[in-house]
Chain A
Amino acid sequence: MNSKYTIEPAYIEGEKGLLFSIHYRPHDLEKKSECFIVVQSFAEEMNRCRYMCTMLAQLLGKNNFGYLLVDSYGTGDSEGDFIDADWEQGCRDLLTAVSYAESLGYNKISLVSIRLGALQTMQVVSSIKKLNRLIFWQPVINGQVALRQFLRIKIAASIGRNEEPGTIDEFDAAIERGESLDVAGYDISPALYKGMKSSCFDDFIDFNAVPIGWFTTLSSTDRKTPRPELNMIDKWKREGANIDHRIIIGPSYWQVHERTLVPELVSATVDYIMGVD
């Protein structure tokens, strides 16, 4: 299929300010149409994933699916500065995106959650009434581990700069004193830091109502899916979840310095959605 779609950017009302949204409207949007809402990662990872999201939007649009991306408050092109970004607010903004998709006429809502977006998805998923399916791209399953990796960027950035690198314990202490933390140019508020730190996939896996497509991208055939990820998939399956785990070989698109793309991940995701093996 090669349908025409239209691209509709808009600012929508969020709880704390206007949120930037971009909607790829399928050529015949009707009640049975399915809308895929992207739940993004944070900070630099979000930037590095942008073009992958656009490629997904284009391929979904060509196949007559809807696509919606909403930047949460303080991120991307929405109102607020990054220091205003707050974990819980991000979760509520995701629900605002869901309501907006419903107002556009969709009766089926699906989420494509990338990295930390997966944790926010799990936090709110049980309250999405029209949920049709979940798709994960390289999901973060433990917020504390992800935060530690993120803070390491701050330590690594000090290499060669003749500045005190600091330690994760010191960063924790600064946050506890109510200070924000600059990590590679992003001001992390205590509300974002603490929300990320306390969020854990495990807390929400009693939710198993819809099919789940879990995509792990490995940078070569020498690499393996990380053990904690496999353990989580097994555990969730035991809870009754219907998970299809697919492995794609391609660069770490959420992390690499130069813009790298994995078109195979985009086409494998749409194949999964369309039931192609």
Chain B
Amino acid sequence: MELTEEIIGIVRDVLVLGDRANDFNASTQLIGAIPEFDSMSVVGIITAIEEEYGCVFEDDEISADVFETIGSLISLVESKLG
């Protein structure tokens, strides 16, 4: 649960969503659903996660599958923190 809150916090901060992120949960759709979610924002989120958790995203992890929902992004981060 804590990780979910943290990842939502990162998405909120990078995209400057403010209160709009208050009802985000694991099933919240990301790419294609949030207008601010452009390619620079994807990279901003990856960078913030790498800095926060000391992990590294591989090239093939920058994909529609990973950035589909908050939950899919969390799954990837979880697998890295394993």
| A and B: interacting chains | yes
Residues of A within 8 A of B (CB): 44, 149, 152-157, 159-160, 165, 167-168, 184, 219-220, 222-224, 226-227, 251-252, 255-258, 260
Number of A-B contacts (CB under 8 A): 79
Residues of B within 8 A of A (CB): 9, 13-16, 31-32, 35-36, 38-44, 46-48, 51-52, 57, 59-60, 62-64, 67
Cα A252 to Cα B63 in complex, Å, equals 23
Cα A271 to Cα B80 in complex, Å, equals 42
Cα A211 to Cα B25 in complex, Å, equals 46
Summarize B's interface: helix, strand, loop or mixed.
helix
Cα A224 to Cα B62 in complex, Å, equals 24
Question: Is the Cβ of A222 less than 8 Å from the Cβ of B9?
Answer: yes
Could you say which of B35, B41, B57, B62 contacts A255, with CB atoms under 8 Å apart?
B41
Distance in Å: Cβ of B33 to nearest Cβ of chain A: 11
Question: Is the Cβ of B59 less than 8 Å from the Cβ of A219?
Answer: no
Question: Is the Cβ of A159 less than 8 Å from the Cβ of B16?
Answer: no
Q: Which residues on the A side are within 8 Å of B48 (C-beta)?
A: 219, 223
Could you say which of B36, B40, B59, B64 contacts A160, with CB atoms under 8 Å apart?
B64
Q: Which residues on the B side are within 8 Å of A255 (C-beta)?
A: 14, 40-41, 44
Cα A256 to Cα B44 in complex, Å, equals 9
Question: Is the Cβ of B59 less than 8 Å from the Cβ of A165?
Answer: yes
Closest 9 CB pairs of A and B: A219-B13, A156-B39, A156-B42, A157-B39, A167-B59, A251-B16, A155-B62, A152-B43, A257-B36
